[in-house]
Every structure is written in structure tokens, then in C-alpha cells.
Structure 1
């Protein structure tokens, strides 16, 4: 991870860890850098950068600050307004933008925000470019063969402009609709949009495909994103699906790059379930390229057992859909994702896309003529407990000798009946302690034993 940018962008509390000045500075660099890349190729046209944002109150502040920096450096800023992260990736790719920016803190509370950078291929920005952004923020930029104490401002007619580009978001909606292979008529669907970026998109797609939709989390006010709704608070969607007799429910996070499902009985369908259901579907159709599904180290033991029984191979990457996509791209895989609901269908998208995931799950249900509970039934999930502990220093907490000794002790105790995983969050000052075992009580006791050592060593924030 970089000095400012983690696995999923530059994220922090608005105007505390991430300020309006930071956004302006990022805009200044991007506008100048992509312009300079063009100029070195003899192209004097203004760089084109597309921007989306979620529904946080601070997103407007960061958008305007970012735009100020971009146009001051000579770039033209195209505004999608409130939209999803995958829509920015889609528009950046198909409309041939130099890069894209999404202003969001995903599943974090409203007072946090973030800046995600996307390259012209619709992929998460490469580490080399991100490192240059960080160098500029720190005031020691060296690129194009020289050191830059400051980068030049654009002047006269070279100053950039802003362009209302809501048409790009509308084309993305049309693209999603085009991926629906079956009519959703007669299917009752619950949609939880987390009071976030999908609130004005998801229903449009499902309605166009013929579903009967009931929504929640579609009243954003700037401070209620992810507040008791969305994929991190799926219990309310579970209740709604059961009470209203729905066939299925889908819950998104704040920027809608992830999706979790709820089956007709109100049971949560995790990212692992989604990988199994769609992987098996593609395997049976003879369309699972390389017969491989890409997972992360956080996927459940039960998923791998179910894959083994289905004759499906799998790969494991570090946590982060960025790493999943990199592996998929390098090894020509078409399906990968995370337990948390970041699912990548590389035939259709370059990032996780919650609404696309919903459409593909509907496709399997309709093609198989089965309920979601039936599709998921062969997958038996091992009990798992995950504890997030906020710490003062993630690296120190993990590398502390007493913490490491305790983790090794737990691993030895579990043997072949389970596993322990301790890792730091890429987006928060958090260490995650996860245990899988044959029963929930064992998981809970072993997680607590590790967390207690972390606390006793004085790392708890």
C-alpha cells in the first residue's frame, strides 16, 4: 500500500484524514500529468477525465475541489454526478477517457470519504501512477526526467472546462439492461441501495427487465449512507424479503461495487455463494474458461470443498478485488471475487459491479428454474467469526511477538479442522482476526483469545 492510497483508494474522515486540499492537489496532478503525456506524443488536446460521486455530504466538496485542480491544470472534467463506481469504470473505458475518478468511501460511515482512481481501460489505477500522485502531494515529484518543485497552471484558452455527462451514466444503465438474457416478469425482488450511489440506478434496471421491485435505502440525505442499510446491514433486507414474500433480495454497498443476496427464506447469500452458483452454472454450460474461479484468502473452507466436488479449480489471492482482477487478467479467468460481495465478471466489466452481479444471479435462477436456496444448497459454509479491532498501528500489532505467538498457537490447535487469518484492512486503521472451525463457539473463543492479546499489548485505538 502507498502513503495515502490503500487497496481501494485514498480514504479517510472528510477534512481530517482526507481534506479538500488533498482533492485539489490530486486534481492538479492528474490534469497536468495526462496533459503532459499527450504533449510528449505531439497531441495538444485537453485530457478528458470523468468523475462520479456517491451520496455523502462531503462528496460535493471533494468533487468541486477535484474539478478545480483538474481545470486549473488544463483538463476537461466530465461529471456523471451521483453514480456507482462500476459506472465510472465503464464510461472511462468505452468513451476513451484518459482516466476516471470516483469519490466514495464505499461501505464506510458518511463522515468518511475517498478518492478512487481508474485508468483509461476502466481498471484500478496502476501503482506507478499512484506513487507519482503521492510524490506530488508530498512535494517531491520527479517524473519525465526532472524534478518538479511545482507543476504549471494552464492559462488562457488552455484552462479546462467542466461538462455535464449524465448521458454517460444513462448509457451505463442501458448496458446493464442489455445484459438481462431473461425477462424478470413475475419475479418479486427486494433492492437495498444503502442510501448510496445505486439509489437512482438499480430500480431502473430491474423495472426495465420486468421485475416487481420493492426498495429500501433509497432516501439519501447526505448523512445516512450505509446507516442501518446496505450490504453491511443486510438484516433489514432479510426481514423485508420474508415479510413481503419476495423471491430474492439484493443489497449493495455505498458505491455499489459489491452485492450480497438474500434468498426467499431470508438467508444471506454471500460472495462465496455467488461464486459457487455462477461458477457451477458456467461449468455446466462448458463456458468456465480455464475451469477456474479466482477467490481471496478470506473465502470459506466450504467453498473449496464444494468446488472440489463440482470439479472446479480455484486460485487464491490477497484480499482486494484489485488483486482478484489482476490474477484474472493475467490468467484469462472470467469469474472471481470476494466473500464480501465484490464479484468480477470479466466478460462484462473490469471491476466488481453489484447491479451486474444481481443480473447474473437472476439469470442463473431463471435458466435453472430454481429458487436461490436450491442453487446454494450444495455449498456448506464452515462457521466463521471475524473481529475487526481498531488499532493505533496495524503493522506493529500484527508483528508483535506475543500476538504472533498466540496466532501460531491457535493455528496449531485448529490443525486441519479449521484456520486462522490475521490481516490488516487496506482502507481503515483496523486489524481483522478471522477463525473458521467446525463450530461457532470454538471460532468465537479463539478469535477472542487473539483480540485480547492485541488489546493487552496496548494497540487498541
Structure 2
């Protein structure tokens, strides 16, 4: 089924502009409530969390109104990480989970993500059915069946206690100095507290949200502040999260940044050695570096590639029984622990590797030599379709021919922003730059 409003990670856009308006959120909440109350019974419940964006108040209230109008009972968690919503949806036996967040996007954007009763993100088909309900008339609840809403004050603490159970029992972080950058986002309280309770000396950044500073110069998409803090404070490691804490980047004691590919390589190797990597494979997207694939092959493991988006990684993992996957951008999915990417739990897994091996972060973050990779984003106007232009297709075809056997080209539209993402890999960096600049110029001309 074709989806009109949902992208690769829910519905997302500029706050107070369609589709991120209060009116749309109200209708969307009512449509989702109608979808989950198809049996006509009362007592259905939804848990709802949000990050720290100012527009979250507006969307939270509008969604609540829509959901209760169709008879859903709403449990409001307040600011919590996205993976906490997935966990609590299942833990609290809810029918639906909702996270209000635009993840790593600027504060002026916002988004809405849905989770099913199993804690996993809704399928494309389920989202399409909700859209179909949204665009048609449907019956609201009778007055006596209107839902209720209430605050859940301990949702964050429930998630924190669970996160600590994923760290090896009996192991502590005593003696480790950890910089944690929470991007002024959803984990600004949970992440530093968990690390401190496990024994680490914590240096916290990005923990003063004001509604407008989420991801602003901090977090996994802007790690420079955390890199400086690691070096200046003589820290053993830096952990940088994004606005909703479902992705992570690791910084070693020298201030060098390691992306999701390196973290996945470390975990895949350790889990394979321990006999716990199910299926002998790691699931990652087409964006992951060719060096990761070569590393896994050398270990007798496989790399299963999917379309971009952690939802597609999770679908492949669940369909084939794999338990480790993720994205280069830092979404690390460990279905033994979580239903979606979880930056805090992934960070704890890296810290466990440090504590158990007694090796510095620098020796753990360099699992493989990456193949030179270049990614450029080209913004295009609404309604434009640069990739359909013959001139653009010709330039892309020429690039593929030039890189045949020595690299690869990947051109795609972003699922969350009006961007064309131009990515290429090649051992020859001069050729790589030439190929990417040629494609970018052609797309910019067409856009």
C-alpha cells in the first residue's frame, strides 16, 4: 500500500506547517485510535513520549485530543528517549506507542512515530491503513466511551532501570571518565544518571534543553564539542546521542570519532566469539562502508544490506531471526535488548567491551580500514524530481561505469527531508571526488 504522509521514520516536517500542525495531529491521533479500536472494545491504551522541542507541547495535546475522542486512554511519559517508548509500550501492555520527535533534525522540525503493541515500529501497511482512515469519515466514541489521559511520572526511571540490566551483572564503570553528550534532547536526564549509577565519572554536555536548542551544535550530528571535552578533560571515552537518543557515535580518548559501522563491527565480532550472533550475520543498510563488509567476510560472517532506514533493518532482522543490525549513522539495533535503535544501550555495550577487555577506546573503535567514502546532500524544491532528468541519469550511469569493480555509487532521496543524497565509495580518492562532484553538479542544475 502506498503511503502519502509517512516517510521512512514516521511523519516529519516543519512545526506548525503541514503536516506538522495541531489540526493534522488531532486527526492523526483520531485515525490511529480508530485503527487500534477496530474491535469496538473499551480500555485500549497508548503511551506517548516526546523529546524537548517546544512544539512537542502542541503536538502532544493535539494527539491526546484525537486519541481520546476515539476512546483511547493516553499515558503521557513526557521527555523520554525513543527506545523508551518502544520498551514501555510493550512493558505497559499498551496497544500503541507514539514518540513525538524529529530525531537529529533542528528544533523547528518535529515528527510523529508509531509503535505497535510489540514495541516495534508499525509496518508500512499499517501506516497506510491509518492514512486511509485519516482521509475518510469515521465514527468517534460515544460520550461515555471517551478516553482518559494521565501523566506517568516514573516512565523515565523504568527505562533507566531496564537499560542498566543490559550491562553485564557484576561489572562496574569505576575509574572510567565518560563524556556524555545528550544533544539537549530526550535523554538529557536518563543517560548521565545511568552512567553515574554504574560507577562512571560523568561529564555531561547538551543537558540544558530550552525548547529551541535540541541538536544545536551538540549531539551525534555535531560531535565537535564532545570531542573537545574528551581531550580537555582527559576522558576515557565520549558518547554522543541525537535528539531522541536512538543513535550514537563513539569518541575515543584521543578525540577521534567512530561511526555506527565501527561499533557494529566491534559488537558483531564480540558476539560471534561468544556464540551469540544469531544467523552469523549483521544487518546494515546500503550506506554502510564497504570496509565493514570486508571485515565481516574475513571473520566468516555476512553483511545483509537493506534500504536506508532503521525500520527496514529491523524488518530484515525479525524476518530472518538476526539479532544485531543498524546504520552507519549510529542507529544500533540489538533485538536481544531493544525494539529499535538505542544510543544509550549501545554505548553501554561499548563500555562493557572496554571494562572487560581493559583496552582503551582507541583500540576498539578501529575494527577495520574504511574504504574512502563521500556523501553530499543536494536540496531540491517541492515538486521537483531531479533524478528523473535524462542528463542526471546519464551522469550517474557514467559514474557507475568509471567505478565498476573498484567502488560503488548510491543515489537516493531522503525519506525525511527534500534532499538528494549522493554517496560514492572508491579506493582512488581523486576519482571519488571527481565522480561525486560531477553528480552533485548535475543534480543541482536539475533541481
Name the TM-score, length of structure 2 as normaliser: 0.96
Unaligned segments of structure 2, at least 5 residues:
none
1:305 aligns with 2:294: yes
* Counterpart residue number, 1:63: 60
Q: Which residue does the alignment assign to 2:152?
A: 165
- Aligned partners of 1:218, 1:105: CA distance in 2, in Å? 18
Partners of 2:315 and 2:7 in 1: how far apart? 16
Deviations 1:103-155, CA, capped at 9 Å, x for gaps = 000011101100101100001112222112212333x3xxxxxxxx3322430
Distance between the aligned counterparts of 1:317 and 1:54, measured in 2?
28
SS in 1 for 2:404: helix
Residues 25-104 of structure 1: pairs in structure 2 closer than 5 A: 25-37=27-39, 39=40, 44-104=41-101
Aligned to 1:328: 317
User: Aligned partners of 2:366, 2:47: CA distance in 1, in Å?
Assistant: 42
What is the 5 A alignment of 1:181-330? 181=168, 182-330=171-319
Is the contact made by 2:71 and 2:147 (CA closer than 8 Å) also made in structure 1?
yes
Most deviating of 203-212 and 376-385: 376-385
Shift, 1:232, TM fit: 0.5
Match of 1:420 among 409, 426, 431: 409
Retained in 2: the 8 A contact 1:334–1:345? yes
Cα deviation for residue 393 of structure 1 reads 5.3
- For residue 439 of structure 1, report the CA deviation from its aligned partner: 4.5
Misfit runs of 4+, over 6 Å: none
Q: Which residue of 1 aligns with 2:25?
A: 23
Contact 2:230 2:237 in 1 (8 A): yes
* Shift in Å, 1:440: 4.0
Write the distance in 2 (CA, Å) between the matches of 1:206 and 1:394.
Answer: 46
Task: Using the TM superposition, give the Cα deviation of residue 24 of structure 1 relative to its aligned residue in structure 2, in angstroms.
Answer: 0.4
Q: Does 1:14 align with 2:1?
A: no
- SS of 1:218's partner is coil
Deviations 1:330-373 (A, max 9, x none): 11111100000001011111100000100111111122221222
Match among 406, 420, 440 for residue 451 of structure 1: 440
**Structure 1 residue 108 corresponds to structure 2 residue 95:** no
State whether residues 46 and 95 of structure 2, in contact with CA within 8 Å, keep that contact through their aligned partners in structure 1: yes
Q: Check conservation: 1:277, 1:376, Cα contact below 8 A.
A: yes
Distance 1:130 1:454, change over 3 A: same
Q: Secondary structure in 2 aligned to 1:6?
A: coil
1:2 alignment partner in structure 2: 3
- What secondary structure is seen at the aligned counterpart in 2 of 1:407? helix
User: How many correspondences in the alignment?
Assistant: 443
Report the counterpart of residue 143 of structure 1 in structure 2: none
Q: Distance in 2 between matches of 1:277 and 1:114?
A: 32
Give a deviation string over 1:236-264, Cα, whole Å, max 9, x none. Answer: 21111111111111111110111111111
Partners of 2:42 and 2:445 lie apart in 1 by: 59
* Alpha-carbon separation, structure 2, partners of 1:30 and 1:311: 44
Q: After superposition, give the CA deviation of every residue in 1:309-337 in whole Å (9 maximum; x if it has no partner).
A: 22221211111110110111111111100
Secondary structure of the 2:75 match is: strand
Distance between the aligned counterparts of 2:190 and 2:431, measured in 1? 42
Once the 2 structures are TM-superposed, how far is the Cα of residue 166 of structure 1 from its aligned partner?
Answer: 2.5
Q: TM-score, normalised by structure 1?
A: 0.93
